[in-house]
Amino acid sequence: MTSERAPRIAVGPDRDPRFERAVVAGGGLPCGLEETPDALVWTAGVESFPDFLPVSVRWVQLPSAGVEYWLSQGIVKAHPHVTWTSAAGAYSAAVAEHALMLLLAGVRALPAHLSATSWTPESLAPAIGTLRGATVGIVGAGGVGRALIPMLAALGAHALAVTRTGRPVPGAVETFPVERIDEIWSLADHFVISATATRDVERLVGAGELAAMKPTAWMINVARGDLVDTDALVAALRSGAIAGAGLDVTDPQPLPDGHPLWSLPNAMITPHDSNPPPLRVPAYLEHVTENVTRFASGLVPTAVIDPSAGY
Amino acid sequence: MTSERAPRIAVGPDRDPRFERAVVAGGGLPCGLEETPDALVWTAGVESFPDFLPVSVRWVQLPSAGVEYWLSQGIVKAHPHVTWTSAAGAYSAAVAEHALMLLLAGVRALPAHLSATSWTPESLAPAIGTLRGATVGIVGAGGVGRALIPMLAALGAHALAVTRTGRPVPGAVETFPVERIDEIWSLADHFVISATATRDVERLVGAGELAAMKPTAWMINVARGDLVDTDALVAALRSGAIAGAGLDVTDPQPLPDGHPLWSLPNAMITPHDSNPPPLRVPAYLEHVTENVTRFASGLVPTAVIDPSAGY
């Protein structure tokens, strides 16, 4: 680090001591918003964001991974000379862990085990699979998909990635461009839908895709409910076209009471809590320390917001 | 490889073509038991094992990880000039994967999610934890514990190992000798009991140990049921002294119908199927190929049985 002085960094709206410690850990000097800070680390929502920023502020760190609402409110555009960063990536590991949990629980037939009330390995064991040697199709290798790949590798599973461009994703056995997505449904053993939350893709998985999957396949969706055709999924889960599904997101969402997915024994529903509040603060603290470190070293912080791209 | 000829290896009791292919993959030449084989790869139980082995046989590979029954039947002792190997280690990855599945499902509150029939993140999310940054006490770092450590590392969890000697286990943050085991119960966030199946340890976890654990702790047992005091565990699960348990083994085992563990919402029971039949064959095939490779290269195969040690 060659900077002459530690950057002065305000934590707002209140000076949360956990975040001031994260600033110190990154080599920054916490200060109040009125003390001509070089940067602002924001820990709350849009509604309490200040109408005016001190002209000394060159960088603002926002706490959300998706910043559509911040963009639509015009706050980013109103300060064009400020570098804005999101928390994109900060929560990827939590969501990837959740996806791995759902996938492992499915492949190892945990739902059937949890409903058993008798010691019957002979009826339960035949449904048990393993990720060891299995191929997992990762649809959308953004932060979550990329965080998932080394977790799968540690279990001896192979990743097939699908991305917009098809540029090789580190750690994936093969990366397909989205135009070739149809090839993966019969090729991979299981699937994790982790496409990023942009609006240009819809209904990736319908009846045809589900029919192409192996009957032993588990499909996990931690991205967006409308990427999967819910009625087609319900039919596939009922007919045994696939082994099961783990859904952190649904369509409709919230999933209404009485919906068939609630009672299907091979559907696991987690109500969009792959990254619940108790896990967010520590992850955001880590992200803040990393970005303050970069800022203090004269580097560009990670996850710079590009208003024209929408993230 | 410098051997002059490929070793002749019999696969018995029948010449299962999958195992003959595994022999070929290891550089061996499959032959019948009557064709003066150098070695025998056995794929079945004790009962069908031949009464007499050809004198040409120098190595026998057995399909079990635990060989107590083979030893008690006197078969190994009857052939003192033969190198006997077990399948110890071959199934470690499968059991470690199962332990990780139970631990992740527990920490992320999957049992509560699976019994929900309504979209209520506000009631479910507070119970969700993460392995990221968590410390997992691994009690007994044999094959299973050692296979588990890199899986945990990929999730950002730290391993504290307990072994007989306390010699540092690769990948563990710290390794405790068994005399210091009492220190880990309050130190680690979660526990995996993976002690090897020898008979010199009993009741590692009783009321006192459970009371020392954090109320957020999950305890997974994939080793032997009698290492845990079942009545004390039931009490701890009812009182909330710990968050929950995942049990692949129980005491008594099989767990009788109507036992309280079947109905406790924070107990996950899998009836000793961490390594079920569908997973055993591929794992044993891998082990056979590895050991044939070693044998063909003049090396000692892995997992040599020591009748005096009992494994």
CB contact under 8 A, A105 and B100: no
Identify the residue whose tokens are 């020392």: B212
Mutate one of B118, B131, B264, B269 to test the A interface: name it (highest A CB count within 10 A): B118
Confirm whether B272 is a catalytic residue: yes
Q: CA angle, corner B182, sides to B180 and B183, nearest 5?
A: 75
Joined tokens for residue A97: 């862990």
Residues in chain A: 311
Residue in A192, A195, A9, A10 with CA at minimum distance from that of residue A101: A192
Q: Which residue has the higher pLDDT, A141 or A61?
A: A61
Distance CA B104, CA B86 (A): 31
- Which pLDDT score is estimated for A128? 96
Distance CA A59, CA A237 (A): 48
- Of the candidates A100, A129, A257, which has its C-beta nearest B117's C-beta? A257
What's the complex ipTM?
0.88
Distance CA A194, CA A162 (A): 10
Mutate one of A218, A270, A285 to test the B interface: name it (highest B CB count within 10 A): A270
pLDDT band at A1 (very low <50, low <70, confident <90, very high): very low
- Interface size A-B, in CB pairs within 8 Å, comes to 152
Q: Is A227 helix (H, G, I), strand (E, B) or coil?
A: helix
The type of residue at B14 is: D
Distance CA B57, CA B53 (A): 7
Cα within 13 Å of Cα(A139), Cβ side = 29
Q: What residue ranges do the domains of chain A occupy?
A: 8-90+278-296, 92-269
CB contact under 8 A, B132 and A97: yes
Question: What b/e sequence results for B268-280 when a residue is b if at least 16 CB atoms lie within 10 Å of its CB, and e otherwise?
Answer: bbbbbbbbbeebb
Distance CA A92, CA A86 (A): 13
Judge contact between A185 and A171, C-beta under 8 A.
Answer: no
CB contact under 8 A, B273 and A131: no
CB contact under 8 A, B253 and A119: yes
- Which pLDDT score is estimated for B1? 45
Residue A197 pLDDT more than 60? no
pLDDT band at A2 (very low <50, low <70, confident <90, very high): very low
- Which pLDDT score is estimated for B258? 98
* Cα–Cα distance list, B114 to A118, A207, A262, A268, B120 (Å): 18, 25, 9, 6, 12
The type of residue at B262 is: W
| Sheet bearing A59-61, strands edge to edge | A29-31, A8-12, A39-42, A59-61, A83-85
Task: Match domain A92-269 to its CATH number in 3.40.50.720, 3.30.365.10, 3.40.50.20, 3.40.1390.10.
Answer: 3.40.50.720
Task: Match domain B8-90+278-296 to its CATH number in 3.40.50.720, 3.30.420.40, 3.30.365.10, 2.40.50.140.
Answer: 3.40.50.720
Residue in B196, B199, B179, B180 with CA at minimum distance from that of residue B188: B180
To the nearest 10 degrees (0 to 180), the angle between helices B92-107 and B277-296 is 140
How many other β-carbons are positioned within 10 Å of the β-carbon of residue A48?
11
- Which pLDDT score is estimated for B197? 53
pLDDT band at A82 (very low <50, low <70, confident <90, very high): very high
The C-alpha of B126 sits at a distance from chain A's nearest C-alpha, in angstroms, of: 7
Residues in chain B: 311
| Chain B residue nearest residue A111, CA to CA | B114
CB contact under 8 A, A150 and B154: yes
pTM: 0.89
Distance CA A255, CA B170 (A): 45
Q: Is it true that A8-90+278-296 and A92-269 share their CATH fold?
A: yes
* Cα–Cα distance list, B255 to A162, A258, B251, B291 (Å): 45, 34, 7, 37
- Which pLDDT score is estimated for B2? 46
- Which pLDDT score is estimated for A221? 98
Joined tokens for residue B158: 């730290």
Distance CA B2, CA B269 (A): 50
Mean pLDDT value of segment A167-187: 96
Flag residues of chain B having pLDDT under 50. 1-3
Question: A27-31, A44-48, B39-43: lowest mean pLDDT where?
Answer: A44-48
Q: Which of A81, A113, A272, A287 is catalytic?
A: A272
A50-58 long-range contacts, CB within 8 A, separation 24+: A50/A12, A53/A79, A53/A82, A56/A8, A57/A10, A57/A82, A58/A82, A58/A83
Contact residues for A52 (Cβ-Cβ < 8 A; gap 6+): none
